[in-house]
Amino acid sequence: MRKEDLVKPSESIFSLESRFMNDDNSQKIESHTLKTGTTTVGLVCKDAVILGTDKRASMSYFVASKTAEKLHKIQEHLYMTIAGGVADAMYLVDVLKAETTLYHLKEEKSIPVKSAGKLLSNILYQNKMYPFQVGLILGGVTEVEGPILLDIGAYGSILPEKFCAVGSGQNFSYGVLEAKYKDNLTIKEGKELIIKAITSSIIRDMASGNGIDIAVIKKEGQAEREFISIKE
């Protein structure tokens, strides 16, 4: 195979649909692509990182699950939220768990949050010709780094943030985060802000809903997990 063949655009469902739409008989072909939606949010507060997600998984206009797990423990000090294609996201969760565990066994210490983010970024970048359809938030706390929050894109981009949101409901969450976030939030204030941000998305985004899953990753002590039921 020639090198130029590798960079030729592949035919997708969108290009095929366009071809059918321009056919002589002008018959419209309905797209059967799998559409997903979610709201995932993260923020940095004093000596902690807080991550939150809704619990709904959708396929176009169908609610595929009301108990979807979008908040995953990678290591004791490291958690990740997932948005996008479930199969792609779960594969990356498994790989990151394995790689960070191997690091811990070899180095006899926990992997730094930024190193875990770079590892994940490299995996995504190496596959950018056929990208994983994901949006990820990686958050954790170490003694040296303190609380770290990373917004990681499908092509491997890493954006360190104080707060971020990913998913179909992100615009609604960002409005709340921009208005209410401040430096040195307490854990209680951070949790309240996460709940407000995701609730705003649940109210307006039909692909988000069925409660809120929260993880508080602290500098000292084990991470705390909590589920909050939301009346919709």
Region for 201 from its dihedrals, namely left if φ exceeds 0, alpha if ψ lies in -120 to 50, beta otherwise: alpha
Residues 6+ apart with CB under 8 A from 84: 36, 132, 133, 134, 135, 154
CA nearest neighbour of 67 among 197, 232, 229, 199:
229
Q: Which strands, in side-by-side order, build the sheet including 78-84?
A: 71-75, 78-84, 134-142, 146-152, 158-160
Residue 150: both structure tokens together: 């990373």
> How far, in Å, CA of 163 to CA of 181, rounded?
8
Which listed residue (33, 36, 38, 186) is catalytic? 38
Tokens 């002008």 found at: 26
Q: State which H helix or E strand residue 75 sits in.
A: strand 71-75
Residue 36 falls in the annotated catalytic set: no
Tokens 């056919």 found at: 23
- Active-site residues, by number, are 38
